[in-house]
Structure 1
Amino acid sequence: MSEYQQFLQERDRIDFLLQNEYKIKKITENLSGAFVEFEKKKHHKDESEYATIHITTPEARKYFSVILIKQQTEDA
């Protein structure tokens, strides 16, 4: 699989979580990429759902960085 195809898959996974009301909660970077933890708050309870994606392509890392910046400006 080409790196571009891998980026598209990673972007689609990120977009899927965002469309389902998840927000980026935590990012852990290492030499093998970045682990992005998403959180979805439940409206009726104090509970949350979590999902983690391993991002390996530089383009996908840039993509979630832009989303994180937008998310922070919306919350401010």
Structure 2
Amino acid sequence: MSEHQQFLDERDKIDYLIQKGFRIHRVNEHLNGASVDFVHPEENKTETLLIGNANARKYFSSLLIKQNQ
């Protein structure tokens, strides 16, 4: 898979969770990228995504900043 296609796939997964009402709760950076925990405040559900693409990590970082403003 090309790097750009990997970015698009990871971005789409992030956007899907955000659209469903999930919020970024925790980020754990490691050698394989970042594990991002999403929590749905009303349904008490948790989802974790492994984000390996650098551009996708920048993308969720910008969403996290907007979320916390």
1:39 Cα shift?
Answer: 0.2
Match of 1:65 in 2: 61
Percent identity of equivalent pairs: 49
1:33, 1:17 → 2: CA distance?
Answer: 19
TM-score by length of 2: 0.97
* Cα RMSD, aligned residues only: 0.8
Letter aligned with residue 36 of structure 1:
V
1:52, 1:30 → 2: CA distance?
Answer: 14
**Higher alpha-carbon Rg:** 1
Structure 2: state its 5+ residue gaps: none
Offset from partner CA, 1:18-74 (integer Å, 9 cap, x none): 0000000000000110000000011xxxx610000000000000000000000000x
Residues 1-40 of structure 1: matches in 2 within 5 Å?
Answer: 1-40=1-40
2:31, 2:58 → 1: CA distance?
Answer: 16
3-state secondary structure, aligned to 2:21: coil
1:41, 1:55 → 2: CA distance?
Answer: 22
Paired positions, count: 69
Structure 1: state its 5+ residue gaps: none
TM-score by length of 1: 0.89
1:16, 1:33 → 2: CA distance?
Answer: 20
User: Runs of 4 or more off by more than 2 Å in structure 1?
Assistant: none
1:31, 1:50 → 2: CA distance?
Answer: 23
